[in-house]
Structure 1
Amino acid sequence: MTATTTNNRLNHYDILSVPSDASQQDIKRAYKERLLNIHPDKSSSSADSPPPTISHVTVNQIQEAYRILSKPESRTKYDMELLETFKKLGYTNNGDGLDAYSLDNFEFDEDHLSYHMACPRCKTHKGFDFTEDTLEEYGQERPDGEGFQVLAQCNSCSLWLKVNFDVADDYSDE
Structure 2
Amino acid sequence: MGLSSSISVQKTLYEVLSVSEDATYDEIRAAYRSAALNTHPDKARTPLESCVLSGEQQEFSSVQKAWEILRHPTSRADYDKQLQSSRQNIEIIASEVQVGDMIIESTADADTVELSYPCRCGDYFSITSCELSGMGISVSGDGDGEVELQASDSPSASVVLGCGSCSLKIRLVL
Higher relative contact order (CA 8 A, sep 6+): 2
**Where is the strand percentage greater, Structure 1 or Structure 2?**
2
TM-score, normalising length: structure 1: 0.42
TM-score for the superposition, normalised by structure 2 = 0.42
The structure whose residues are more often helix, as a share, is 2
Q: For the pair shown, which has the larger CA radius of gyration, 1 or 2?
A: 2
